[in-house]
Structure 1
Amino acid sequence: MVTLTFIRHGQSTDNVKKVWAGWKDAPLSNHGMKQATALGRWFSEKGIRFTAILSSPLDRAATTAEAILEHQPEPKPPHIKSTLLREQHFGIAEGKPWATRKDPNLSLEDHFAQGMFPSPPKRSDRFPGGESRDDLAARAEQAINELLLPYFWGAEGENQGPIHVAVVSHGLFIREIVDALYRREWGRERMLENYRGLSNTGWTRVVVTLKGTQYTTSSPKLSVRITAVNEREHLDNLVRQKGGIAGLAHDPRQKDIRGFFAGKP
């Protein structure tokens, strides 16, 4: 049995701006760093110890993963970054504001020419130069095969202790990979149409076991059970800073400067 905890990154500066942010590498905001730190502490206080922490290499996810890692006990688990865990790529829409609605009198191309970027209506649609949701689903399948299956197979070995893997990624990608895991059990085209996604640093937990000893197949059947969705207890006592400071980019040097002026040895 393998426990997977899928974690969305903390609030980024692009989340504050409400722009299309896929591969655009925005940092965590000050509030996002507080969210990530609160989550790392909460896992530690609850005695949750990870076998490994996998993350997207994009700054907002990797920094969230590092905040979790900081609060893990020694020996600390490995932090493994993979481009397979990145968010959907939005092509020419990257960094552009969302369009809340589409003008029925304009083609998508006309929208783009006027600087409007409504959400592509179909799963097979994409912004020019970007990925469709179907492309994202295919990448999620690849991530299962290359990153997660080794843990599933390892869990079948004799005298194997509990395996708990944290996956720190992005909202749309997490939805697709959880959906892909469910397809491994049920074989249906779509499984989680009502899945509402994750808040910043919200986490969803999935327990996975192999169905039988299928070491020879690259796509073994799985038993998949969701045990938690968008958990946010770690944010209960978190206070957002006032005056716009919370939405500014987090500067890791600030901690060192505060320590210096506090006269710490």
Structure 2
Amino acid sequence: MIIVTFIRHGESTDNPRAVWGGWKDAPLSDLGRKQARALGEHLASTKIDVIYASPLLRAHHTGMAVQNGQPKPPPLILNPNLREQHFGIAEGYSWCYTYPDHMSLDECYKTGIFPAFFDRSGRFPGGESIDELAGRAHGAVKECIFAHLTEEDGFHIALASHGLCIGELVHALLSYDPESNREESYTGLMNTAWTRAVISLDPSYQGHVDSDNPPPLRVKVTHIAKEDHLKNIDEITDVDGNFENERKTEALAFFGGAGHTN
């Protein structure tokens, strides 16, 4: 049995601005650093054997906070397949739900309007669709999880990644268990919230374990969107001294994975 904890990064400096982030490499905000430190302290009593992180700063530094919180810091390995969905030409521009009825998408793009897609095949020019992100997530599962299938019982892997990517990672993992519940949504994570799964070999399997072509597995999701470590963190107001407006709230939910189906 091995354990996998999926961790969404702390708040980045782009998150409060409600822009298309993707591969745009914004660092953690002041609040994000607090969140990451609180997560590291929260997980300090949980032994983690290896940490894989997206190389994007917000996830990398969240992974480092978890690493620093461990009594015996485990190795931290960067893996590009753990990066967020790539939003192509939209990155850095304001996030929005819809666009004016009188404008085509091409006209919107020329004027800096980039409305969200809510289907799995939609993508901005130069970017990725959710289906393409799912293919990358399958690669990450093989590289970061299946490479450890033969480790000793209780081996614990932490993956520091991004909201949309984590939803695809969990479903990619569940696809190797023919009895898993794939109808459940594993999106909508708050910053630094975590989800955990326990993986074991199908007890009927007696053959060789090949990480590139794994045997049937048993995957049980034991924790979903845990955020207890955030209870004592002070909220930070925006630059105008106001709390999150509706657009920001919607954008935060979107990038946590809400609004997408797996």
Q: In which range does the TM-score fall when normalised by the shorter chain?
A: 0.7 to 0.9
Q: Which residue of 1 aligns with 2:156?
A: 164
TM-score, scaled to structure 2: 0.84
Structure 2 residue aligned with 1:215: 209
1:65 maps to: 63
- The aligned runs of 1:217-236 (5 Å cut-off) are 218-236=213-231
RMSD: 2.2
| Matched AA of 1:185 | D
AA partner of residue 142 (structure 2): N
- Which of 190, 197, 202 is the matching residue for 1:199? 190
1:13 maps to 2:13: yes
C-alpha distance in structure 1 between counterparts of 2:107 and 2:99, whole Å: 11
User: Does 2:182 align with 1:184?
Assistant: no
> Displacement, 1:146?
1.9
The aligned counterpart of 2:79 is 82
CA distance in 2, matches of 1:116, 1:32: 27
Q: Which sections of structure 2, spanning at least 5 residues, go unmatched?
A: 242-262
TM-score, normalized by length of structure 1? Answer: 0.83
Q: Secondary structure of the equivalent of 2:192?
A: coil
User: Hey, which of these two has a bigger chunk of helix by percent?
Assistant: 1
**Aligned residue for 1:260?**
none
Could you list the per-position Cα deviations for residues 79-123 of structure 1 after superposition, in whole angstroms to 9, with x for gaps in the alignment? 011111100100000111112223344332222122111112421
User: Contact (CA 8 Å) 1:13, 1:26: kept in 2 or not?
Assistant: yes
Give the unaligned 5+ runs of structure 1.
Answer: 247-265
Contact 2:163–2:187 (8 Å) recurs in 1? no
Most deviating of 140-149 and 85-94: 140-149
Instruction: Compute the displacement of 1:5 (Å).
Output: 0.4
* 1:166 Cα deviation from its structure 2 partner: 0.6
Report the structure number with the largest CA radius of gyration. Answer: 1
- Report how many residues are paired: 237
2: CA distance, partners of 1:141 / 1:55: 15
Large movers: runs of 4+ above 6 Å? none
Q: Quick one: percent identity of the two aligned structures? A: 43
